[in-house]
């Protein structure tokens, strides 16, 4: 599939140099490489700079409320599991207001792929603390330096039972595309945390480049839970790559298929009941 197939008519309104451009390029590359036609993809997003994502790529999309792209995505996947369902949103959406949904989507192993453009700041609201902002970070809402500890989303999700947890960097779109491809191929829930710096409010490009290293270069085994947790807790440096992957757990949708039967998806079954079934249901209570 050519990347052109995913070309939108709308130019992103992100600041020049914004990390999200790299993420957009990586998502397109991943979908094209995996040969997924645009009409079989739905992207669910929330509110914030990064959540404008669906308008900038030609697939189906749902640009919804702040913090709620995950439940919308689950509803879509449950109703039509033939769709490739992605969530693209920022750290405010996914690690703040909507983190509850992330924890439970991971626990259910819902077959959705969550790509978080993590810039450690609230950008569109002009630079306030986010859940991943660091201790002592100076922002509009922490003029004397933050006194709130940051969330470690990778450790939290690995601990929660997520079956695929990875981190990429928007400055490395090829590597990021590989991570997204692996996430899409994964059986169930996947989190791809992407360090996607905000050039306007919190430019950490140089810092990321200085501290990053790739887990695959260090012989990391993503099947090893404790090694994954250790890597996730490496807060001195910035490991990139697949931290944890468990292909043994069936996804919610696989188990759902077993219970209700293949092909009986809610989107395919908008059909009436016949009078015999209706009568049977009515007389269950008699």
Partner 1 sequence: MQEVKDITIRLGAAAGDGIQSAGEILAKLLSRSGTYISTFNGNQSAIRGGHVWFHVHAGTHPVYSMGYGVDYLLPFTQLAYDEHYSSVNKGGTIIYDPSAVTARDLGADISQIKSPFLATALKYDKYPIMKNTVAVAEVAALIGLGFDVVEETITSQFAKKPEIAKKNVEAAKEGYGFGVQAGVRKALKYSDKRLPFLHANYTFSIGAVAAGCRFYAAYPMSPASPIVHWMTAHAKKLGITVFLGEDEISVMNATIGAAHAGARAMCATSGGGFALMQEAVGEAAMTETPVVVVNVMRTGPSTGLPTKTSQGDLNMMLGISQDDFPRAIFAPRNAPDAYDIAVRSFDIAERYQIPVMVLLDFQIADGGYMTIDHDFKPVDINRGKLLNSDGTDKELHNGTWFRRYQLTPDNISPRSLPGTPDMMYVAKTDEHDEWGHDLSDVLAGLKESVLMREKMQEKRMKKMEQLKAEMKAPELVGQTKADLTIVSWGSSANPVREAMEVMNSSGLKINALEFSDIYPLNTQAVVPLLKSAERLMIVEANYTSQFGGLLRKETGIDIKDALLKYNGEPIYPVEVERMVRNIMVKEVESHVH
Which residues are at the interface with partner 1 (CB under 8 A)?
A: 7-10, 13, 37-40, 42, 44, 52, 54-55, 58-65, 68, 70-80, 82-83, 100-101, 103-104, 256, 259-261, 264-275, 277-279, 281-286
Smallest distance from partner 1 to CB 109, Å: 14
Among the listed residues 124, 130, 118, the one whose alpha carbon sits nearest the alpha carbon of residue 166: 118
Distance separating alpha carbons of residues 187 and 286, to the nearest angstrom: 44
In this complex, which beta carbon is closest to partner 1, that of residue 106 or of residue 242? 106
Query: Interhelix angle for 153-160 vs 99-108, to 10°?
Result: 40
In this complex, which beta carbon is closest to partner 1, that of residue 64 or of residue 239? 64
In this complex, which beta carbon is closest to partner 1, that of residue 108 or of residue 175? 108
Helix residue spans in the chain (DSSP H): 20-33, 69-79, 91, 99-108, 153-160, 173-185, 205-211, 225-232, 252-260, 275-283
Distance separating alpha carbons of residues 94 and 56, to the nearest angstrom: 20
Tokens found for residue 116: 């978080």
In this complex, which beta carbon is closest to partner 1, that of residue 226 or of residue 283? 283
């Amino acid at each position: 599939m050519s990347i052109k197939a995913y070309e939108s008519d709308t130019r992103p309104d992100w600041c020049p140099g914004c990390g999200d451009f790299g993420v957009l390029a990586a998502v397109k590359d991943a979908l094209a490489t995996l040969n997924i036609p645009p009409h079989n993809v739905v992207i669910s997003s929330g509110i914030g700079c990064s959540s404008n994502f669906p308008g900038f790529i030609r697939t189906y999309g749902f640009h919804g409320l702040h913090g709620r792209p995950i439940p919308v995505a689950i509803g879509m996947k449950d109703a039509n599991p033939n769709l490739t369902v992605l969530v693209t949103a920022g750290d405010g959406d996914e690690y703040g207001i909507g983190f509850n949904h992330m924890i439970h989507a991971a626990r259910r192993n819902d077959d959705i792929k969550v790509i978080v453009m993590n810039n450690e700041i609230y950008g569109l609201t002009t630079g306030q603390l986010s859940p991943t902002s660091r201790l002592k970070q100076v922002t509009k809402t922490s003029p004397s330096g933050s006194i709130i500890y940051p969330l470690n989303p990778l450790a939290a999700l690995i601990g929660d039972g997520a079956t695929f947890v990875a981190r990429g960097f928007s400055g490395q779109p090829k590597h990021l595309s590989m991570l997204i491809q692996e996430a899409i191929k994964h059986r169930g829930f996947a989190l791809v945390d992407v360090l996607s710096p905000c050039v306007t409010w919190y430019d950490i490009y140089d810092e990321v480049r200085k501290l990053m290293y790739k887990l695959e270069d260090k012989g990391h085994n993503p099947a090893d839970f404790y090694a994954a947790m250790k890597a996730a807790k490496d807060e001195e440096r910035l490991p990139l790559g697949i931290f944890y992957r468990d292909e043994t757990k069936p996804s919610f949708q696989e188990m759902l298929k077993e219970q209700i039967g293949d092909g009986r998806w809610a989107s395919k079954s908008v059909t009436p009941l016949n009078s015999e079934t209706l009568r049977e249901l009515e007389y269950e209570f008699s």
